[in-house]
Amino acid sequence: MSRIKSPAELEAFRKEILAQRDPDKPCITLCSGSACNATGSGKVAAALELEIEKQGVTTEVVSRRTGCHGFCEQGPIVVIYPQGICYLKVQPEDIAEIISETIKKQKIVERLLYVDPNSGERATLEEDIPFYKNQKRLVLGSNRKIDPRSLEDYLAVEGYQALTKVLFEMTPEQVVGEVKDAKLRGRGGAGFPSGLKWDFARKAPGDQKYVVVNCDEGDPGAYMDRSVMEGNPFAVLEGLMIGAYAIGANEGYIYVRQEYPLAVANLTVAIEKAEEYGLLGKDILGSGFDFTIKVHRGAGAFICGEETSLLNSLEGKAGEPNARPPFPAIRGLWTKPTNINNVETWANIPMIINKGAAFFSAIGTESSKGTKIFSLVGKVNNTGLVEVPMGASLRDIIFKIGGGVPGDKKFKAVQTGGPSGGCLPEGLLDTKVDFDELSQAGAMMGSGGMIVMDEDTCLVDIARYFLAFLSDESCGKCTPCREGIRQMLKILTNMTKGLAKEGDIDLLFELAEATKGSSMCALGKTAPNPVLSTLKHFREEYEAHINEKRCPSLSCKALIDFYIDPEKCKGCGACFRKCPAEAIEGGKKRIHVIVQDKCTKCGGCHEACPAAFDAVNILSGVPVPEATPEEARAIG
């Protein structure tokens, strides 16, 4: 196919693609996102290609490597369409059976199906697995069906229909109006109305304007934007082009963090394909609209997720924020009006144009419309990417989709919004994922990180962890952020080491409020959230660390000791063999004793001790019983 010069040629090409595809022919899709690649998806793909040839089904089946399917801990994942048969943790040696049984004989390979950990029931279809069944995958929906490097695949799922509609049926003002009516709010964290942001840029004076994709997510455990960019880069490109047309821009930039090589690779191919077919470049589809895109790889600085820092980095300057106003929509890249949104925001645009503002705004809550992608990680059975309607409760996400907390442990808290988010207790699990409701609860939507914690998690140490991350990532440009975070971190570190003193909680509050109220950018303004939310909901833990030198969660190493109960020890030697510091004394069939001066508190002895004995105890805030000569006696 040569360069496409008109909407009619594009539609003819789409019909040609669809005519060549039999919807009833088995299509084996293999998740090939970063997570599944890490667990061997590449080897499975090689085995799949080999086995299709070997078993002589090259004309009877289609295979496709796709983007992330979301259920990352169960990868590599294979889904066979049109039925939607889902196989989990597939290995290269499983492929021969999948071809011979499922493809040739229409039989199910039972051992590869999802098994409900509570009921023991198996789910054959992807849509019947609780992790998927309770989601609404609008942005991620095509990830599991298309090859992210195939323009033909994207066209087959209505790709570029929105761009065609915009270029030939809508004015820039109408496009902005549609985004406004949809009530789309930016998915990068701030939740600012996207249509309003676009309108500012459109009305800003200047002949040269820019559009930018922010793919610099750096939250620990978050990978929403990465997976969208890896799995469906064409949707992001199409959304960006629609935004460019709406504000009057002819140049766009995609800022991708250095740690996302697969996203860059897939994006680069998508740009090349779009240019080859005339869907990018000069006079797109004969509309007179010109648009070019450049990809810029960031060095991995968390601060560059903040839009003015990102723009400074794009210009070759230090990634530091600028005071606002003026905002980028008025004075952005190279002082020109610039519209910048994150990956997920841009990916929503084609759907809004295709299905209409009313469709999008009918989903969600009064103030937060559409769906939101979350990275569900931590102490939860089903980890991965989840997409839910705005207004879904934290409880439903964690327990219906996530399958609850593993190991019969109790739920303790969930942290939403990345390192600058807040930790919410069990009593707030019915909070809805809504920009405003999460903020009122003391957390934030952020870009979509969601970390679940169980009873073994120390919230003081969690606050310390996030502030350590933010202290490292602060650019240091403004004093309140640089020094405020550092001093809060110092106090929290002392607490976890048993060095805190009376008055430290009040000092934390004072520092948090000062940092929040006077920092230049969102990093500093939101950095106190982990401290303020944990102080509000888990103050008793702070008080225990200060007043009793005790960690209630038995987590802070400096405040715990390991002790072998002589009444329970059976002299099996499991703890002795596990100890890397040779801090355990005892012999075969003799009671073992931990030499406290040698103990590094790694916890290996506690893990090694058989559950039936439960002889290794963790103590905090109480003296360790002194070893007596009798404890070295033989057992029995």
My answer on whether 98 and 210 are in the same domain is no
Q: Please give the backbone phi and psi of residue 482, each rounded to the nearest 5 degrees, phi first.
A: -60, -50
Task: Name the residue among 63, 120, 114 with its Cα closest to residue 87.
Answer: 114
Has residue 168 got a pLDDT over 60?
A: yes
Has residue 48 got a pLDDT over 50?
A: yes
Q: Is residue 349 part of a domain?
A: yes
Q: Is residue 190 part of a domain?
A: yes
Q: Is residue 408 part of a domain?
A: yes
My answer on whether 128 and 253 are in the same domain is no
My answer on whether 611 and 531 are in the same domain is no
Write down the pLDDT at residue 516. Answer: 93
Write down the pLDDT at residue 313. Answer: 95
Q: How many CA atoms lie within 13 A of 544 on its CB side?
A: 20
Boundary-marking domain end, from 81, 106, 133: 133
My answer on whether 63 and 38 are in the same domain is yes
| pLDDT mean across residues, the chain | 94
Write down the pLDDT at residue 588. Answer: 81
Q: How many CA atoms lie within 13 A of 574 on its CB side?
A: 18
Write down the pLDDT at residue 631. Answer: 54
Write down the pLDDT at residue 633. Answer: 55
CA distance 619 to 552: 10
Tokens at 481, concatenated: 């952020």
- Condensed to tens digits (0 to 9), the pLDDT of residues 108-167 reads 999 999 998 878 899 999 999 999 999 999 999 999 999 999 999 999 999 999 999 999
Write down the pLDDT at residue 634. Answer: 53
| Mean pLDDT value of segment 50-76 | 95
Number of domains in the chain: 5
CA distance 420 to 436: 16
Has residue 22 got a pLDDT over 70?
A: yes
Residues near 128 by beta carbon (within 8 Å), at least 6 away in sequence: none
Boundary-marking domain end, from 133, 160, 194: 133
Q: What percent of the chain has pLDDT over 90?
A: 89
CA distance 169 to 474: 46
Q: Looking at residue 34, which CATH number applies to its domain?
A: 3.40.30.10
Q: Is residue 141 part of a domain?
A: no
List, edge to edge, every strand of the sheet that includes 292-298.
292-298, 251-257, 210-215, 338-342
Q: Looking at residue 375, which CATH number applies to its domain?
A: 3.10.20.600
My answer on whether 288 and 394 are in the same domain is no
Residue 621 burial class via C-beta count within 10 angstroms: exposed 0-12, middle 13-18, buried 19 and up: middle
- Please name the residue that has the structure tokens 């008025």: 330
Q: Is residue 144 part of a domain?
A: no
My answer on whether 482 and 406 are in the same domain is no
Q: Looking at residue 352, which CATH number applies to its domain?
A: 3.40.50.11540
Write down the pLDDT at residue 548. Answer: 95
Other beta carbons within 10 Å of 614? 11
My answer on whether 193 and 332 are in the same domain is yes
CA distance 448 to 439: 13
Quote the pTM value.
0.93
Q: Which of 116-120, 368-372, 469-473, 541-545 has the lowest mean pLDDT?
A: 116-120
My answer on whether 175 and 317 are in the same domain is yes
Tokens at 625, concatenated: 């019983």
For strands 371-378 and 338-342, give the pairing.
unpaired
My answer on whether 508 and 375 are in the same domain is no
Q: Is residue 7 part of a domain?
A: no
Has residue 632 got a pLDDT over 70?
A: no
Residues near 507 by beta carbon (within 8 Å), at least 6 away in sequence: 491
Has residue 226 got a pLDDT over 60?
A: yes
Boundary-marking domain end, from 516, 547, 578: 547
Residues near 359 by beta carbon (within 8 Å), at least 6 away in sequence: 352
Containing structural domain, residue 515: 460-547
Has residue 636 got a pLDDT over 50?
A: no
487 backbone φψ class: left, alpha, beta (φ>0; ψ -120 to 50):
alpha
Has residue 42 got a pLDDT over 60?
A: yes
Helical residues (DSSP H) of 248-385, grouped into ranges: 261-276, 307-314, 343-355, 357-361
Q: Looking at residue 529, which CATH number applies to its domain?
A: 1.20.1440.230
Has residue 553 got a pLDDT over 80?
A: yes
Q: Looking at residue 616, which CATH number applies to its domain?
A: 3.30.70.20
Residue 192 burial class via C-beta count within 10 angstroms: exposed 0-12, middle 13-18, buried 19 and up: middle
Q: Is residue 366 part of a domain?
A: no
Residues near 17 by beta carbon (within 8 Å), at least 6 away in sequence: 152, 155, 156
My answer on whether 82 and 185 are in the same domain is no
My answer on whether 63 and 200 are in the same domain is no
Q: Is residue 553 part of a domain?
A: no
Tokens at 486, concatenated: 């550092």
My answer on whether 277 and 342 are in the same domain is yes
CA distance 254 to 424: 34
Confidence bin at 190 (pLDDT 50/70/90): confident
Q: CA angle, 106 as apex, 104 and 107 as ends, to 5°? A: 110
| Mean pLDDT value of segment 604-627 | 92
- Please name the residue that has the structure tokens 């991708």: 256
Confidence bin at 220 (pLDDT 50/70/90): confident
Which of helix, strand or coil describes residue 595? coil
Helical residues (DSSP H) of 419-503, grouped into ranges: 435-440, 459-473, 479-496
CA distance 277 to 279: 6
Task: Name the residue among 543, 538, 542, 578 with its Cα closest to residue 562.
Answer: 578
Q: Does residue 325 have a cis peptide bond before it, meaning omega lies within 30 degrees of 0? A: yes
- Condensed to tens digits (0 to 9), the pLDDT of residues 505-540 reads 999 999 999 999 999 998 899 999 999 999 999 999
